[in-house]
Amino acid sequence: MAFRASLRFAAKSSSIAGRTTMTTTTTTTQHARFLSQAAAMPTTPSPASHAQIQRDASLPNPDPAADSASAALVREHAPFMVATYSRPAPVFIKGEGSYLWDLENRKYLDLTAGIAVNSLGHCDPEFAKLIAQQAQTLVHASNLYYNPWTGALSKLLVEKTLESGGMHDAAAVFVCNSGSEANEAGIKFARKVGKVLDPSGSKTEIVSFRNAFHGRTMGSLSATPNPKYQAPFAPMVPGFRVGRYNDIAALDELVTEKTCGVLVEPIQGEGGVQVASDEFLIALAERCRAVGAVLLYDEIQCGMSRTGQLWAHSHLPASAHPDILTTAKALGNGFPIGATIVNAHVAEKIKVGDHGTTFGGNPVACRLAHYIVSRLADPALQADVVAKGKVFEAGFAALKDKYPELIAETRGKGLILGLQLTEDPTPIVTAARERGMLVITAGTNTLRFVPSLTITDAEIQEGLKILDDAIQTTRV
């Protein structure tokens, strides 16, 4: 805390003294370049910027100002980047555990973990060591050949899945590069199963659910029924139907003999941390089995021990286990990788040449994921996730008591949690960031908390305090 306070003080002093000077030693050439750019900027604040300076002085982490090194960097780079994201001002240059640092050397408690990605925290030392080791050994030789790590990861994923109590018949894995690709493979595999079961070609429909998010490639996007994401790219892939999440009564009409696959998140992340009821997933699985449809669980965000069990569905009876299970995000802790786990019913219908990828399953990604799966499948870590989730929930309950008009409900499990607000959370997100904490939104007016699974109780308390301060500020 003392270190953090001193960093904040340093950052604040520098911004007061002209908002252009980096306060601590940075060694990279890039920093040096931005220091010189920044130094070339006017250092006498204009009268208009005095108010800004005073405001900034009252904040631990004011967003970098227009004359900062960060702003200079963004001005230089942004024109060359396709504008698919709207980003806040800080430029992150370093991470360690649950913290990130920006170009002005401001420190942030990161409750986003790169959107449920950095489950072991930023720059886990062993992870960093393994990247270097494998980079010096073998990076890529293509899927045309065997390497030691694609198979080792596949085997470990199957073994740990079986041990977890989830997907009791997990048998084989297709390794790719991202969540969208993992779902894309799942959708293709479901179509192939449908073709094998019904060669007439009429068993091709894929069902997904409202508020789902399955990715941005055309197949996974077609299963993501959000007009904001789909409309600019219409028409979607044909043969996709949409149902209502947790609506058991509608399943018979929704999932029919024409259905080859049903894709569902046991917990919808982007959709606002909406949890599927056990009854719904059990009924859905039963309906899939009745019509011979493949059941696909997308655990890209909610899986990999984020709920305190390896898979969010691990507690369900075997009858509700999926035929296909997709994972990504935390599987690589920040290194791009995705995986599609299948049972024998699916695997035996996929033939050589049916699907492929140049980079998927490369030795670097797979060696890292092998280490990550070993760490995240640890029951002690999982018990910790449950305990930490309770710390968050207790804090949220106190905040709900304090701000009953603002906080409608708390949702989620373990360390995938949502605070349903009654208003747009954006001002709270901004106020939290300017107090040194990153949090993201989801769904409609939901604040989403998906921190590193290694976050400590003290860090959670720090986050709850900042959240309280941020909410308080937006009340006046």
Ligand X SMILES: Cc1ncc(COP(=O)(O)O)c(C=O)c1O
Residues that bind ligand X (CB under 6 A): 115, 178-180, 183, 213-215, 265, 269-270, 298, 300-301, 328
CA 412 and chain centroid, separation: 14
Q: What is the DSSP letter of 277?
A: P
Phi and psi, residue 317, nearest 5°: -65, 155
* In the block, residue with structure tokens 């605070």: 419
Least distance CB 115 / ligand X (angstroms): 6
Least distance CB 272 / ligand X (angstroms): 12
Question: Measuring CA to CA, how many Å separate 199 from each of 12, 114, 281?
Answer: 68, 43, 28
Tokens read off for 269: 């992340």
Which pairing describes strands 259-264 and 240-243: parallel, antiparallel, or unpaired?
A: unpaired
d(CA 37, CA 31): 10
Query: Of 470, 344, 311, 464, which Cα lies nearest the Cα of 398?
Result: 464
d(CA 428, CA 426): 5
d(CA 184, CA 223): 10
Q: Is the four-CA dihedral 29, 31, 32, 34 of positive or negative sign? A: positive
Reduced to 3 states (helix: H, G, I; strand: E, B; else coil), residue 450 is coil
The residue among 273 and 407 lying less far from ligand X, judged by its C-beta, is 273
The residue among 112 and 301 lying less far from ligand X, judged by its C-beta, is 301
The residue among 68 and 446 lying less far from ligand X, judged by its C-beta, is 446
The residue among 115 and 347 lying less far from ligand X, judged by its C-beta, is 115
Least distance CB 146 / ligand X (angstroms): 26
Tokens read off for 329: 């995000």
With CB atoms as reference, the residue minimizing the distance to ligand X is 179
d(CA 408, CA 159): 40
The residue among 270 and 462 lying less far from ligand X, judged by its C-beta, is 270
Least distance CB 265 / ligand X (angstroms): 5
Tokens read off for 40: 């070339």
The residue among 71 and 453 lying less far from ligand X, judged by its C-beta, is 453
Cα dihedral value 339, 344, 348, 352, nearest 10 = 20
Q: How many CA atoms lie within 13 A of 48 on its CB side?
A: 2
d(CA 464, CA 394): 10
Which element (helix H / strand E) includes 207? strand 205-209
User: Residue type for 250, please?
Assistant: A
Least distance CB 27 / ligand X (angstroms): 32
Q: How many CB atoms lie within 10 A of CB 139?
A: 11
Least distance CB 113 / ligand X (angstroms): 12
Least distance CB 325 / ligand X (angstroms): 12
The residue among 312 and 320 lying less far from ligand X, judged by its C-beta, is 312
The residue among 38 and 417 lying less far from ligand X, judged by its C-beta, is 417
The residue among 23 and 112 lying less far from ligand X, judged by its C-beta, is 112
d(CA 10, CA 19): 11
Least distance CB 197 / ligand X (angstroms): 26
Straight-line distance from the first to the last Cα atom of the chain, in angstroms, rounded to the nearest whole number: 28
The residue among 263 and 399 lying less far from ligand X, judged by its C-beta, is 263
Least distance CB 369 / ligand X (angstroms): 14
Least distance CB 182 / ligand X (angstroms): 7
Query: Of 388, 418, 452, 461, which Cα lies nearest the Cα of 112?
Result: 452
Least distance CB 211 / ligand X (angstroms): 11
d(CA 25, CA 134): 31
* Bond before 235 cis per omega within 30 degrees: yes
Least distance CB 100 / ligand X (angstroms): 19
Helices 457-475, 426-433: axis angle to 10 degrees equals 120
The residue among 97 and 266 lying less far from ligand X, judged by its C-beta, is 266
The residue among 101 and 209 lying less far from ligand X, judged by its C-beta, is 209
